[in-house]
Amino acid sequence: MPTIYDVAKRAGVSTYTVSVVLNRAAYVSPELTKRVLDAVRELDYTVNDLARSLQTRKTRTIGMLIPDIASPFYAKVVRGVEDVLKEAGYSLILGNTYNQAEEQARYLTVFRSKQADGLLLFLCPGGEADVEHALKNRKPIVFVGRTPANLDADSVSADNVKGTQMAVEHLIRKGHRRVALITGQADLSTSADRVAGWKKALRRAKLSAPSALVAEGDWTEDGGYRATLGFLEQTPPPTAIFASNFLMMTGALRAIKEKRLRCPQDVEVMSSDDSEWLDVFEPRISTVLQPSYTMGAKAAELLLKRIASPGRRPERIVLEPELKLRD
């Protein structure tokens, strides 16, 4: 493997000049810069990040855990994170937990062994204990989307109470009186917030909010399908369903179709995630538009601040949702 000394010898310059050119640390004349870059290309030289990290005690890498990259919401969050980190000279290591605490624990071990400089986490249900240990060891961590109830740490999330309330109030204005809600796992902040927003909208309209109209769908298409089948077996069934993410919304539509019902004529469906696909989707699904890209960008910026200033007070950023109507 070629070294910086080989590059310097090929270019006819000092190793200091090679380092300055590669790190853009100071001005180097165009002629010398070209000689260095030509030598780098001819020798297929790459910087030894392992050696650099041993010297600086930094790897310039960030670990991030999301539930499932198949969801359009998480894909946009990751894009926001990557754009900010790339500008700052960091690389991202991404892992999918599928909302399993065991997978979260495994990835935290991997990130620790890779000496990631900081972590961005969508917290798994029941996964606070492992993360609490990392926080006590002063590991820079920012929670994304889901705010831990018992941990004092940086976080960036959306106002899920307000978003759900907006959606349910819209359905009520359209004449619906039995509005069901599909959430994720009950011990997550996002689920509790959506239940609170659902209740707030119904009680403001002087409508009942029976627990039978709330079901956990574990954030998956199959979970949304099972929850909707349960709703449709009730007497009377709900006339509208608010699904807390895109995947559970598709499961709800599958169950409605399987029962030979029509959406929105028999059962109207709304979702908490948006996607460009929905502009050509039939039926046209209205959504609560979460600022997913902004959420990722803000989380990355907050983590970089934490890395630069480890002793600063934890900061919680709550972003405003938006109602996107297609009906």
In whole angstroms, what is the distance from residue 7 CA to residue 182 CA?
Answer: 60
Per-residue DSSP letter, 263: T
CATH of the domain at 182: 3.40.50.2300
- Domain of residue 129, residue span: 59-158+292-321
> Do both 137 and 177 map to the same domain?
no
> Do both 178 and 255 map to the same domain?
yes
Whether residue 92 lies inside any domain: the answer is yes
Number of domains making up the chain: 3
> Do both 143 and 115 map to the same domain?
yes
Give which of 161, 155, 123 is closest to 295, Cα–Cα: 155
Whether residue 327 lies inside any domain: the answer is no
In whole angstroms, what is the distance from residue 114 CA to residue 25 CA?
Answer: 26
Whether residue 54 lies inside any domain: the answer is no
pLDDT score for 44: 86
> Do both 123 and 139 map to the same domain?
yes
Whether residue 78 lies inside any domain: the answer is yes
Could you read off the pLDDT tens digit of each residue along the chain, which spans 327 residues? 788 889 899 999 998 998 888 877 788 899 999 999 999 988 888 766 545 544 545 678 999 999 988 888 999 999 999 999 999 989 999 999 999 999 999 999 999 888 899 999 999 988 888 888 888 878 899 999 998 878 889 999 999 999 999 999 999 999 999 999 999 988 888 999 999 999 999 999 999 999 999 999 989 999 999 999 999 999 999 999 999 999 999 999 999 999 999 999 999 999 998 877 788 878 889 999 989 999 999 999 999 999 999 888 999 999 999 999 987
In whole angstroms, what is the distance from residue 113 CA to residue 119 CA?
Answer: 13
> Do both 164 and 148 map to the same domain?
no
Whether residue 277 lies inside any domain: the answer is yes
> Do both 208 and 312 map to the same domain?
no
> Do both 41 and 65 map to the same domain?
no
In whole angstroms, what is the distance from residue 299 CA to residue 297 CA?
Answer: 5
> Do both 185 and 277 map to the same domain?
yes
CA 188, chain centre distance (Å) = 14
Tokens 């930094």 belong to 58
> Do both 13 and 76 map to the same domain?
no
Half-sphere exposure of 208 (CA within 13 A, CB side): 6
> Do both 284 and 308 map to the same domain?
no
pLDDT score for 281: 78
pTM for this model (two decimals): 0.79
pLDDT score for 49: 55
pLDDT score for 57: 59
pLDDT score for 237: 96
> Do both 171 and 284 map to the same domain?
yes
> Do both 36 and 69 map to the same domain?
no
Whether residue 326 lies inside any domain: the answer is no
Per-residue DSSP letter, 123: P
